Amino acid sequence: MAKGQSGRRKIVPESEAVIDQWKYEIAAELGLPVGKSWVSANGASDVEFATELGTLPASSIKEDYWGHIATRDAGAVGGNITRRLVQKAEEILQGL
């Protein structure tokens, strides 16, 4: 988290888990190699073999590591999260 955001109080703290779940779902939909879903989809033996060969850095199988993802791809994930948040808000407002 950026330095200026560290002291901010979350309005709905429970939303963090849902947004984090969406982040990994969207990354999987876009085919980005992050999180445990990527490891399980490719099989642990494939990941171990690729790591031994040096074609896959070991850091790329960490759940929260996104450093190897292009800025454009990370932005696409953030944009899709925003799209889902707006859709949920519209659904709630239509229900009132």
Look at the block and give the residue holding tokens 């690729």: 50
Is the CB of residue 59 less than 8 Å from the CB of residue 33?
no
First to last CA, the chain: 34
Task: Check: pTM over 0.85? Answer yes or no.
Answer: no
Res 63: pLDDT = 57
Which residues of the chain fall short of a pLDDT of 50?
37, 43-47, 49-51, 55, 59-61
60 closest CA partner among 76, 39, 31: 39
